[in-house]
A = this chain, B = another copy of it.
């Protein structure tokens, strides 16, 4: 099947590997692109010069399209955007900010722009800003999230009715069946994050990968809604946040308690107690650490198997 998402990116399958902080370096992105999906480098955890070296290595390791995910609230955003243009990246996913700020500039530099949204309102704003596609991400997704708490199952059909640009569904998708579910709801493709944390090529610390493999249903929670809502594994740091909340903390108190570097500490350095461990609810379904190529094959095979079996499940 070729569709609007495979055409937009020039890829084989309408699947995007999410550009996640501390997980998505050149190894993960190039392995994904070499497996027929779109690999993304996650710029959110990289200084501009680090991002440049990851882009260069990614180009050396794949001949297929790849992109960069850029949180627009990034402090070095102008330098990051310059690196992206200088290194001739062709695809940029923007998130956590206003899509009207950079979309035209990137497109004028020949770059395809996709923006991540979590509500209908921001989907329409992104379309009005001229983005080429959106990622519609539900409440169950890991890491940064929206305020509306709309789940993927409800967000996708509602967004599908509200915009006409291609929709890439994200949040709660780790398998071929999950992919088929959101494609049936109107998505043109999927973005998959948590599943690729538990890949050999993710740059996450092995302790964090193992925490993902052993996590169960109910082990993640969306918290820090007063700052930017973020879904994380419930660890000691999470419990200390819950304690702090009992005192009705101000935003400043929360921000100060959070500090800086907690995501790196948890996901990259493997401190499972005091680090911030960003992951989606679907981590409960993930129990194998595999190379990216095997993960992609499993997803595509399961999708095709279930899609074919649907003809035997008609209602009469």
Measured CB to CB, the residues of A under 8 A from B are 1, 12-14, 119-121, 138-140, 148-155, 157-159, 161, 171-173, 175, 177-178, 180-186, 216-218, 221-222, 246, 248, 280-282, 284-285, 300, 303-304, 306-308, 310-316
Contacts and interface: CB of A to CB of B under 8 A. Distances in A.
Nearest to A146: B218
Contact of A217 (B13, B150, B177, B310): B150
A180 B181 CA distance: 7
Contacts of A285: 154, 157-158, 161
Given A186-B177, A217-B119, A218-B148, A158 B284 contact: yes
A221 B146 CA distance: 13
A289 B148 CA distance: 26
A277 B151 CA distance: 20
Given A216-B120, A303-B315, A304-B314, A149 B185 contact: no
Given A151-B281, A177-B157, A307 B311 contact: yes
A138 B153 contact: yes
Contact of A184 (B152, B177, B216): B177
21 contacts: A1-B313, A120-B218, A139-B139, A139-B140, A151-B172, A153-B178, A153-B182, A154-B281, A154-B285, A157-B177, A158-B284, A158-B285, A177-B185, A180-B181, A180-B310, A184-B184, A184-B306, A184-B310, A303-B315, A308-B310, A311-B311
